[in-house]
Structure formats: C-alpha cells, structure tokens
Amino acid sequence: MKKNHFIVVSVLLLFLLLVLGVNSVSAQKPAYLDVNQSIEKRIENALSLMTLEEKVAMCHAQSKFSSRGVPRLGIPEVWTDDGPHGVREEVLWDKWSAAGWTNDSCTAFPALTCLAASFNPQMSLNYGKAIGEEARYRNKNMLLGPGVNIYRTPLNGRNFEYMGEDPYLASRMCVPYIQGVQQNGVAACVKHFALNNQETNRRAINVEISDRALHEIYLPAFKAAVQEGNAWSIMGSYNKFRGEYNCHNDLLLNKILKNDWKFDGVVISDWGGVHNGDQAVNNGLDLEMGTSTNGFTTDGTTPYSQYFLAAPYLKGLKSGKYTETVLNDKVSRILRLIFRTTMSANRPFGKFVSPEHSEIARKIAEEGIVLLKNENEFLPIPVDKYKKIAVIGKNAIKSLIVGGGSSSLKAAYEVSPLNGLIKKYGKDHIVYSKGYDSGKTEYSKEINSKVNADSLIKAAVEIAKTADIVLFVGGLNKSKFQDSETADRESLDLPFGQDKLIAALLKANKNTAIILNSGNAVSMPWVKDVPAIVQAWYLGSEAGNAFANVIAGDINPSGKLPFSFPKKLEDNAAISFGQISYPGDGEIEKYKEDILVGYRWFDTKKITPLFPFGFGLSYTSFEYGKIATDKKVYSSDDLIKVSFTLKNSGKVDGAEAAQVYVSQPKASVVRPLKELKAFKKVFLKAGEIQTVEMEIKAKDMAFYNENAKEWTLESGEFILRNAASAADVKSSISISIK
C-alpha cells in the first residue's frame, strides 16, 4: 500500500512541476509572441511594449516595397510586391530597376480580364491560391492585387488588370482570389480604392460622381472584397474624390471602409499618393508607401524619414497636434496584418513555378478565351486537317508578359502563340510572317522597326496566298498608349497598321481568322469579312499552350466578355458626354453617365454593341429552358430560387456561363433596364441536359437611395431574365416583392 501511495504522490508532484515549468516558460514569453494567444491580445501586448518612435516607424515605407517592423521586439518587416498577375521580380532597395536576382522568375498567370471572362469563381480560387503560394515562397506578406476598378471606357490603359464593367461579376470573381491568396499567409491588397478608372492625369484628377453610382457601380467589388473576401489590406488610389486625395480620403477610408464596412486591415497608399500631412494622419491612411532614398543616405527628394507619416508625424504627436489613439489604430492594423501573416502559426511555405501553377495558369487561360465569331465551324482546326497554316502577326511571337507598368513580370517561361501552334501542328505545317511591327521596347509608341510596314505586309501576303488557312495574331500589347499604366489609349483602333494588313490578308486568302491579344475592346472594321474571331487576352506563361488547345479543339472555349465591345468610341457612355466626362478638364472629371455603365448604357440608349457583355460562343450549342422561381411573392429577407434547364444540343462537351439579370420596371428612380445578379458556369457533355439552379438575395435587387443614404428595396414587380449574354435574353418571369 505504502509503495502505491508513494507512486501516486510522486506522479502528482511531477505533474505539478511540469505544469509550473511550462507556465514559467510561457510566463517568460510575452503574449505578442505567443501564437496561442488571440491576435487582439497579441496586438495589445505589442503596443504596450513599443515606443512612440517605433510605432511611427511602422507607418511609412523604409524602402521601395517594404516598411519597418520592430527589430528590438522581433516583429518582422512588412514586404509587399506587385502584382495581380504574378510576383514581380526583386527591384533595388529604392529604385524601380531590377535587382538582377536569379531566383525570382515567376509563373505569369493570365491577366484578370481573362480570369473574369471565365465567369468561374473556382478559377479565381485556384488563381489566388497559386499566386499566393508564389508570393509566400518569395517571402512577401502582401501581394499588391487584385485590381477591381470598373471598366468605364475602352481607353483606360490598365483595364487589363481589372475585372470588367459589371460590379456583380467583379465582386464574385475577386472574393475567391483574395481568399486563395490569404490562405498562404499573404495579405491581398485590393486596389485602387476608388474611382481610378483611367490613367490620364491619374495622380490629380478629381472625380465627381453621384452617391448612387458610387455605391451601385464603383464600390461593390471593394465591399465584397472586405466583407466576403476578408481582405487584409486595401490600396488607396492616386486620384481625388470630391476634392480629397483617395490615399487620405475621409469619406472613403474612415466613413465607408472602416466605419460602415468594418474593415480591420491596413490601408496603404499608392506609391507617392500622399499629399497632405494632417489628412494622412486623420483620414484613415495607415501605411505611406513611395520612393525616395537609396536606403543608405537621405539623397532623393523625400527621404523616408521625411514622409508625412514619419518625422513630421512624430513631431506632431510630441507637440500634441496628433493623438496617440489614432496612431495606435494604425499600428494595431499593421500588427494585425503581421500576426495574420509572418507571425501566424502554421503558416504554409508556398511554392514557386511549380507544375501545378502552370496547370492552373493554363486552365484559367483556356476557360477565359472568348470565341467571338465562328462561321461554318471554321474553328476548331483538327491537327491533320490542313497541310499549311500561315501564322501572321507580331503578337504571335512578342512577349506580352513584359511591360504594362507595375504588373510587368520576369517570367520563368512564356510559350508564345507561334510556339504553341508549332508544338500542336508540327513545324512542317506552320509558316510564319510578322506582318506588322510594334516597336522594339515595351514603352515605344511608334514603330521603330527597321523593315517598313509595306514590305512586312507584302511578305505576309505572299505566304497567306499559298496557305490553306491564315491565323492572324495581333491586337494590343503592353506598350505605352496601349494596355499599360500611366497613359490611356488614344483610339479604339488597332495600332501599327493591323487593319490594313488584315484587309490585305483577306484579299490574299479569305480563310483568315483573327486572334486578338488585348485587355481592352478594339474596333473591327473587318468584322463581317472574317470567318472567325478569338479574344485571347494576355494569357501569361502558358499562352501558346492554352491558345493552341482551343484552336485545335482539344479545349472547347467557354469564356464570355467581361465588358462590352462598342462599335465606335462615341457609343461608350463616358466618352459620349465629352471631355468633362472623360478624361476630364485636367482638374475635374464628372462621371455623367452615372449608373449607366457598359451594357446598362447600351440597353437604356438602345445602342447595339459590336459584341455585348457576357457574350461568347462555343464549339457546341446550348438550349435554355424557361426561367422559373420557387415562389411568386417574396419578402426582402428572402432568397429567390431561380431554375431553368440547360441543354448541350451540340456534338461536343462544353461549358456555358448562364446569366440571370434583374429589372425593376416601375421603380421610383431611374434604374438600368437590367442588371446581372447571378451567373453559373455549367459543364455539359454533348446531349446532356441539366437543371441549373441559382439564388438571388432579394435585398441584392435594391437600389442605393441617395436621400435615405441607404439601400432601398421597393415593393412591387421585378422581372428576372435568364440569358446567354446581355443581348441574348432567353426568357423572363415576373415576381413581386412585398
């Protein structure tokens, strides 16, 4: 008995020592270092240990893409990097120029217009996870993307980085991307908040817009990013809104983003987007980014120590001009981002240029490519159908990953359309001619090719004459005044004489298909004369493989346009109101089209677009059944269940992005004729029929009431329409909201 007694007591003692021991160890570890503590506890503890200088030091850049942590406490720095399509190569401490590393060539994913064109949120999740893994592997804890600014005109140089003209599509497609990135312990930084819908005069233009257009068109994707995507950071935009710069705009940042939407992340400025000290402190900015010193000395116009949220801020805090409460809010948000990323428990390790990433990039490209025209089944082209295929056009060989501004990438590889076609059809069946030139550098506006245009056309025509068919691969590229940051396009037309070349090719061989790489709509004077047109975006590293798979029919295209192609520039809403509406008078820009952006404008003004929003063909065909709802009368809290059959009535398997639009015919305010409120990409085998089901929250059919300053869902009739595009309504049904 004694012996057992002894054993029990000694085990108890041992246990006690163990518990005490562990406690004493954890007692030594401060809460902010303890991953088992809540983030809020860790923030509180870290704040209590930091000096005023250390807090201020966290609120501004220390180099081109990084900001200070707290070295004394072992709190790591914040390292950001571009961009939305892949992880940008390392640049010098304080220069835009490349650092020349040899381990930072990334996977280049398709541009976000291509992702949006897939109409498939699963693709967005895959995209976010993969690009997040690459950012994680490169030890970045903030990825400067996605961009979700609305496509307001076909001239905006950065449309290729965004998700089109419809706020609902942009919302659905950005949320999974953000979630995917952040699953890697990397913060997505959603940009550019807000109303940065052009590059012309972007650092100064003051946008004037109604509350309705702000809330119904330009904010929804950001709101979804915050409230559903749980974005950990947001980037303020360069432009002004109602007279205040958006990197420190009280209405946008304090009232709407932080107060109304309950955003608990970090607001960073765009680079050099901060212009006013008091506003930088008090209007909701948390982290001031920009460029200035070489990191060793203070040479450069504004050394980081002189940033608005640096020495001047510290001085103001010490003099009592600024409160430490506001400072603590900024620092808490930055600490929260750090504890969610670099200091989080079980943070994944990432992956870089993996086969899975290539596969994901290729699948997104394949699902985003849009077939705009295909007469007499010109496409697909089976591998053994023709002896000689002529491939014409500079874009068949030009890198479309480099250039375009901050989203430019140093890719590990890039399969060009020409190489993809040669791989697919064999080099004996492919002949190539450049046809036109688009300049040597990425920033050239003019052609500076040695060979002049006429001889290029002549050579191309020669091989077109003897080929069975011609694939023209052209469009825009990432040069300035095309699809690029800092400048908008100056015309809707294809540059470098491509229309002239296409006319010559058609004369030489009427079997000339047009493939366009671009992030923007272009005019197509030849649209009636060609048998096939493919909108092939910027597809990234896997471009040639995805492109060849679609051309050869290994993949059935299923992409749909995320923005309308106008027949002529003046058909575009913003352009139609003249200079004050776009690009503004140098000071002010008034979005006079208000809520009627994109197809909302074409519907209301009964203008026929060249190609409508939501349009895309397939190698098969689809038949839509009549739309039905689960009830006739709904209350505002209801979910409206919509259903209809969809049949693949063709001979090959395919996928269809079916859409549902909502109208309120007798609203008390002007409303668009219809608005996209649901879509689903449905995969169907040849002959297969499925019942497609979608849900619409009744409250999402509300309009923003400017007088009440809230969303209003009026009772009365609403009409729901299922459609294959904004211009191809299949059926409608009337319901009532009580």
Q: Is 447 in the site for ligand GLC (CB under 6 A)?
A: no
Q: How far is the CB of 82 from ligand GLC (least distance, A)?
A: 5
Residues 6+ apart with CB under 8 A from 335: 32, 42, 43, 46, 47, 58, 75
DSSP string, 376-388: GG-----TTT-S-
Q: How far is the CB of 144 from ligand GLC (least distance, A)?
A: 4
Q: How far is the CB of 140 from ligand GLC (least distance, A)?
A: 12
Q: How far is CA 595 from CA 113, 209, 216, 573, in A?
A: 21, 10, 7, 10
The one among 191, 240, 424, 434 contacting ligand GLC by CB under 6 A: 191
Q: Is 634 in the site for ligand GLC (CB under 6 A)?
A: no
| Complex with ligand GLC: residue 138 or 560, whichever CB lies closer | 138
Distance CA 355, CA 361 (A): 10
Q: Is 162 in the site for ligand GLC (CB under 6 A)?
A: no
Beta strand pairing status for 639-648 and 622-624? antiparallel
The CB-nearest residue to ligand GLC is 406
Q: How far is the CB of 246 from ligand GLC (least distance, A)?
A: 12
Do 529 and 506 form a contact (C-beta atoms < 8 A)?
yes
Lookup: tokens for 638: 């209801």
Q: How far is the CB of 97 from ligand GLC (least distance, A)?
A: 13
| Complex with ligand GLC: residue 205 or 343, whichever CB lies closer | 205
Q: How far is the CB of 163 from ligand GLC (least distance, A)?
A: 15
Torsion of CA 450, 508, 527, 649, to 10 degrees: -120
Lookup: tokens for 145: 């993307």
The one among 115, 116, 117, 144 contacting ligand GLC by CB under 6 A: 144
Spacing of C-alpha 66 from chain mean position: 22
Question: Residue-wise over 58-85: b if at least 16 C-beta within 10 A, else e?
Answer: bbbbbbbbbbbbbeeeebebbbbbbbbb
Do 231 and 178 form a contact (C-beta atoms < 8 A)?
yes
**Binding pattern for the stretch 263-282 against ligand GLC, x by CB under 6 A and - elsewhere:** -------xx-----------
| Complex with ligand GLC: residue 6 or 101, whichever CB lies closer | 101
Residue in 311, 435, 343, 267 with CA at minimum distance from that of residue 46:
343
Residue in 116, 86, 563, 680 with CA at minimum distance from that of residue 361:
86
User: Alpha-carbon torsion 595, 599, 604, 608, what sign?
Assistant: positive
Q: How far is the CB of 406 from ligand GLC (least distance, A)?
A: 4
Distance CA 130, CA 118 (A): 17
**Binding pattern for the stretch 106-135 against ligand GLC, x by CB under 6 A and - elsewhere:** ------------------------------
**Binding pattern for the stretch 636-655 against ligand GLC, x by CB under 6 A and - elsewhere:** --------------------
Active-site residue 270, yes or no?
Answer: yes
Residue in 453, 412, 462 with CA at minimum distance from that of residue 433:
462
| Complex with ligand GLC: residue 202 or 674, whichever CB lies closer | 202
Distance CA 401, CA 397 (A): 12
| Complex with ligand GLC: residue 218 or 271, whichever CB lies closer | 271
| Complex with ligand GLC: residue 192 or 336, whichever CB lies closer | 192
| Complex with ligand GLC: residue 247 or 314, whichever CB lies closer | 247
Which stretches within 138-266 are classed as H helix? 167-182, 211-213, 220-227
Lookup: tokens for 273: 């987007």
Distance CA 506, CA 515 (A): 14
| Complex with ligand GLC: residue 190 or 508, whichever CB lies closer | 190
Q: How far is the CB of 188 from ligand GLC (least distance, A)?
A: 12
Do 114 and 538 form a contact (C-beta atoms < 8 A)?
yes
Q: Is 89 in the site for ligand GLC (CB under 6 A)?
A: no
Spacing of C-alpha 543 from chain mean position: 18
Do 291 and 322 form a contact (C-beta atoms < 8 A)?
no
Instruction: Give, as one character, the DSSP assignment of residue 341.
Output: T
| Complex with ligand GLC: residue 199 or 571, whichever CB lies closer | 199
Size of the site for ligand GLC (CB under 6 A): 6
Q: How far is the CB of 714 from ligand GLC (least distance, A)?
A: 39
| Complex with ligand GLC: residue 144 or 698, whichever CB lies closer | 144
Catalytic residue (choose from 82, 94, 166, 270)? 270
Question: Which positions from 65 through 84 interact with ligand GLC, judged by CB under 6 A?
Answer: 82
Q: For residue 22, with 0-12 CB atoms within 10 Å meaning exposed, 13-18 middle and 19 or more buried, which class applies? A: exposed
Q: Is 406 in the site for ligand GLC (CB under 6 A)?
A: yes
Q: Is 565 in the site for ligand GLC (CB under 6 A)?
A: no
Strands, E, within 52-102: which ranges? Answer: 66-67, 78-81
Enclosing H/E stretch for 292:
none
Q: How far is the CB of 270 from ligand GLC (least distance, A)?
A: 5
Q: Given its phi and psi angles, is residue 469 left (phi above 0), alpha (psi -120 to 50 degrees) or beta?
A: beta
Binding site for ligand GLC (CB under 6 A): 82, 144, 191, 270-271, 406
Q: Which residues are known catalytic residues?
A: 270
